[in-house]
Chains A and B, each alone.
Chain A
Amino acid sequence: MGQEQEIIDLLRRRDNAGADALLAHYGPLMRYVIAPILPDPQDQEECLSAAVLRVWDKIDLFDPRLGGWKSWLTAVCRNAALNHRRRSAGDGTEPLSDDLPAPEPTPEEQLLRQERFEELTRALRRLSQRDQVLFYRKYYYLQSTAQIAAETGTTERAVEGRLYRLRKRLRQALGGDGDE
């Protein structure tokens, strides 16, 4: 915690040593989040630089009361990687916001999003810790089934089976019929 706070303070003071420390200490974690979304090593390095820059720019938006440092950092990296992928693909969709939470939605949008978010959060909380981790690995960090299988010490087939059951349970929890 001490080193983490030290890096955050350096970044908030706009001290260049903060960016160096961020890369030295959290570089592997940032690479780990970016790699499944951007398989090309060159894209990964470009995205890593962009992510460090965004952390530098948006550090004042980090509020420890809303979530942990590593959660915020991985969210910035994930969104940076997704935006990089969209730009590279040239699909013309609007890039994801780096502001967490997203800035200034209309009150109606905010209410609707909040309701849907709470509904999904409730459904996720009813899952076991193991299934929650699997869900975030697959749908948030966008890891491949092969990567999840290797890192959790199981087979791809077993991961696929667990994801199938997980989707079914979530669909039921969100008011669906549970069929694929």
Chain B
Amino acid sequence: MSEFDRTGTLSLDDLIGQEPPPEHIVQAVTPWRRAMQRILIGLALATVTIEIYNLNHILPVVGLLLVLAGFRALRRENGFFRACYLLSAVRFGTLAVEKSLLATIYWQDIFALPLYKICAVTGGTIALFALLFCFMAGLRMVEKKAERKKYSHGPAALLVWYAVLCVLALNQYFIWIVLILMLTVSAFILYDLYRLSKALDETGYALHAAPVRLPDWALMSVLIAIVLSGVVCGSLFFSRYPMEWTPVQETAETAEVAETKAELLALGFPPEVLNDLTDEDILSCKGAQCVVSSVSGYSDYRAIPKEYVHAPGYDCANCDLHLTDVDVMLPGDPAQLHIFHHFVWKDTYPDYSTHCLSIQLYPHGWQAAGAPSGRLLCNRDDALLTAPYVSSTAEERTHSTFFGFSTSTATDALAPFSLPKGVRQPRGYLTYSVQEVTSNADFPESLYQYIYPTGYAPYPVHTAQEYCALSFWDGPFRPVFDIFQFDPCYPPE
């Protein structure tokens, strides 16, 4: 025994042994309080959903960590608490996977998979109810061991409360009065459990705490690190589309293509758009009668973009992004239009997250012929690279007018993509044809939107395509758009 231990022990016997320890020390020494406090605070945090600052994601993780740490200390106490510990570990694992997936652009697709649904229900809902049942049974055993004459109904009430919550959630029955009632009841239940915990704590309920190899703080740090690394990996590697960029094969221009290009240039087709078209798209405009185009430039794309509408061929020096619409009138009866929507970035462009081109065509007696097509292009060193869009589909949808008084049918086309890092002038276009189906039809209108990211993807990750479909513009994406009507060229002179 060291000198201190000898004098220290003697001092304690002689001095402190004759004086009772401070009350707050006695309370902190009794073993039950710490574990139960963690469980109750954890259950409260996991129950409350506050949808600001991502608290609806952070609080359940913190809550489950506390529940796990609480049951870790109690796992030797009885079999039910041991089951609670294992079930809270399963629930935490499920939650960690879910939170990691939410950092990827694939989470909606994965969440819709039947296998994932089975795993989520098993690791989430079923594990939750099993945990609550075991918690109830474990507490009942503790109360019995502590020789309490009157058992608490709090644990059973908590189980019923969660069952009611699940029924409400399944029926989407969320009205304020019910939510306030549920929150009030949950507060009463947790207070009842707190009183039970306090009563057991006052008796100094002799807990058989389980020894640990890894301290609680280290375990919690490791688990938080696992969740965070899952989220970071998801954000870094799966928050953008995998694009297949390949070098453009240099082939000799045929005489027919050269001739058509010359015709189109003569009709006023913007050369910066024409140079990006495939030979097939150029040849589809052969014999054009008329070409009309408009160009919009946008600067300060990270803030509110400023728009500069200007004549074709005008170079907007301050603009980061140019959108060009080109309408080509083709010969024949019925009348046919070939429409091109083109974009090009200067060297400053958002090289992260996802982008989307969206076209809403209001035909007014015209009909789109097939799905839109197109390609993406960019320059890296001396090479010209190209990639297809992730998808390009068209479907008819009914849109409300601004005030919602009437509706109109439009053909919607969406083409999502991501841009590579370290390239020059990333650009692309979408093209489609429309045919007149009603004689003396009005002119078709096309709402062309380019949705681009203004910052890194939020959490949970949504794509530009999802934002476009939901028309959410208060987020990390911003649209620039152009409404194009083809009247100046029709009927051709």
Residues of A within 8 A of B (CB): 4, 24-33, 35, 66-68, 70-72, 74-75, 78-79, 82, 96-97, 100-102, 113, 116-117, 120, 129, 132-133, 136-137, 139-141, 146-147, 149-156, 158, 167, 170-171, 176, 180
Contacts and interface: CB of A to CB of B under 8 A. Distances in A.
Contacts, number: 143
Nearest to A100: B20
User: B interface, how many residues as a size bin?
Assistant: 35 or more
Given A102-B18, A170-B8, A151 B209 contact: yes
B210 A150 contact: yes
B369 interface: no
B227 to A, nearest CB: 20
B207 A151 contact: yes
Contacts of A74: 20-21, 26
Contacts of A151: 31, 34, 73, 207, 209
Given A32-B204, A101-B18, A154 B215 contact: yes
12 contacts: A24-B147, A28-B146, A29-B202, A71-B23, A72-B20, A74-B26, A100-B18, A116-B11, A140-B17, A140-B21, A152-B34, A180-B2
A153 B72 CA distance: 8
A25 B211 contact: no
A155 B213 contact: yes
Nearest to A72: B20
Given A31-B204, A136-B29, 4 more contacts: A26-B203, A151-B31, A151-B207, A155-B214
Contacts of A66: 20
Interface in B1-38: 2, 4-5, 8-9, 11-31, 34
B212 A149 contact: yes
B29 A141 contact: yes
A71 B147 contact: no
A31 B17 contact: no
Chain A interface helix/strand/loop/mixed: helix
B14 A155 contact: no
A100 B214 CA distance: 40
A65 B15 CA distance: 19
A79 B216 CA distance: 33
B209 A150 contact: yes
B206 interface: yes
Contact of A136 (B9, B25, B213): B25
A81 B2 CA distance: 24
Nearest to B16: A140
A160 B416 CA distance: 60
B1 to A, nearest CB: 11
A32 B206 contact: yes
Q: What are the 8 A-B residue pairs with the smallest beta carbon separation, nearest first?
A: A29-B204, A68-B23, A153-B216, A71-B20, A150-B209, A154-B215, A75-B20, A151-B209
A111 to B, nearest CB: 13
Contact of B205 (A28, A75, A79, A176): A28
**Most chain A CB within a 10 A radius of its CB, from B2, B25, B27, B69:** B25
Contacts of A68: 20, 22-23, 26
A176 B6 CA distance: 14
B209 A133 contact: no
A66 B19 CA distance: 9
A172 B20 CA distance: 24
Interface in B360-395: none
Contacts of B211: 146, 149-150, 156
B9 A154 contact: no
A60 to B, nearest CB: 16
B421 to A, nearest CB: 45
B217 to A, nearest CB: 8
Interface string B208-229: 0111111111000000000000
Given A29-B204, A171-B4, A100 B19 contact: yes
Given A139-B12, A170-B8, A30 B204 contact: yes
Nearest to B148: A24
Given A75-B20, A120-B15, A132-B25, A32 B31 contact: yes
